[in-house]
Amino acid sequence: MASNATIPRKGDHVSFHVRDIYLPGPEEFAISLDPNTEVLGRVVGFSDSGPSSGTFAIVQTDESKKVVVPVNSLSPIQRGAAQRKHAK
Instruction: Please answer whether residues 14 and 75 qualify as being in contact, where contact means their C-beta atoms are separated by less than 8 angstroms.
Output: yes
Domain boundaries, the chain: 8-81
Residue pLDDT, tens place only, 11-34: 999 999 999 998 887 677 776 778
CATH number of 8-81: 2.30.30.140
Whole-prediction pTM = 0.75
Residue pLDDT, tens place only, 49-73: 767 777 899 999 988 889 999 999 9
DSSP string, 17-61: EGGG--BS-HHHH-TTS-TT-EEEEEEEEEEEETTEEEEEEEEEE
User: 80: pLDDT confidence band, cut at 50, 70 and 90?
Assistant: low
Q: What is the DSSP letter of 82?
A: H
